[in-house]
Amino acid sequence: MNDKSKAVLLMAATALIWSSGGLAIKLVDWNPMAITGVRSVLAALTLAVLFRGRLKFGFSLVQLGAAVGYAGLLITNVVATKLTTSANAILLAYTAPVYVALLAPWFLKEKTSRSDWIFIAVTVGGMVLFFLDKLSPSGLWGNIIAVGTGVSYAVFTLCMRAQKSTSPVESVIMGHVLTALCGLPFMFSTMPSAESWMGLIYLGIFQQGISLALYAWAIKRLGALEAILIMTLEPIFNPILVAVGYGEIPGKWAIVGGLVVIGSVTVRGVLPFMKKTKNYPGS
């Protein structure tokens, strides 16, 4: 198996691990800013151990940009997940492919093809279906904050991809440090229960720390748009896990939208291999 194939599989594995975050956040009974702060402390320590001796903090603009984008992603996602449904929070975050498609030609000099635009349109169309279900007025601020997650996610992906010739993990650690500093003032008003501490440990070490080590390796071997389209597996499995483990059931349009997105991602992944097979000599 070549590095490109491994990168696709590891990026998909990362998406599945990240998808468990919605359920874990719902089950942790604590202030959302405190949750994201403690999670980031644990994640930063985990990554520092995994990459010890290999970290080089150059503080370049793209490294700092990725850190700020990631901190924004972490904070807005946790707050939005607490204020609105997990499905709404994660799916609004996945408006990011639109921003990536618009900015990648200018920022990374990576061309957005006509077929990519078609798949983006289908993917976004599938996500829109989630919002045909009745939305709770109390979740309005959560939905607005989740839009910020999408913008932050796009900035993070573009700046991470811009570091493809170097190690991008430093940006992730810096993002976690920024997030921990933002969450610090909220950590001491109350203390979480023992069960919540278990959830926090999982969120920090596994859902963020180990999964991000996989992401850092894979993103260097994939295009920015390709990476973010693979990661659309996350918003599909996130609501399913929350429904099973927390009882928060998506509406019928959300289910239809999920099928559309899964189909789009699958076709987007299979077509390049089909073209290679068709053009292979002797096929």
Could you tell me the residue ranges of all domains in the chain? Answer: 3-279
How confident is the model at residue 283, as a pLDDT? 37
CA within 13 Å, CB half, 148: 18
Please give the helix or strand (H or E) that residue 65 lies within, else none: helix 61-83
Q: Write out the two tokens for 132.
A: 């045909």
Contact between 251 and 87 (Cβ < 8 Å) = no
Q: What is the pLDDT along the chain (283 residues), one digit of tens a residue?
A: 788 889 999 999 999 999 999 999 999 999 999 999 999 999 999 999 999 888 888 888 888 999 999 999 999 999 999 988 888 888 778 777 777 777 777 777 777 777 778 888 887 888 777 767 766 666 778 878 988 998 898 898 888 878 766 667 888 899 999 999 999 999 988 889 999 999 999 999 999 999 988 987 888 888 766 777 787 788 788 988 999 999 998 777 777 877 787 677 667 666 665 665 555 444 3
- Alpha-carbon distance of 159 to 220, in angstroms, equals 11
pTM of the model as a whole: 0.80
Long-range contacts of 167-170 (CB under 8 A, 24+ apart): 167/51, 167/54, 167/55, 167/56, 167/216, 168/63, 168/66, 168/216, 168/219, 168/220, 169/47, 169/51, 169/55, 169/212, 169/213, 169/216, 170/55, 170/56, 170/57, 170/58, 170/63
- Alpha-carbon distance of 94 to 149, in angstroms, equals 8
How confident is the model at residue 138, as a pLDDT? 62
How confident is the model at residue 72, as a pLDDT? 97
- Alpha-carbon distance of 117 to 221, in angstroms, equals 21
How confident is the model at residue 137, as a pLDDT? 63
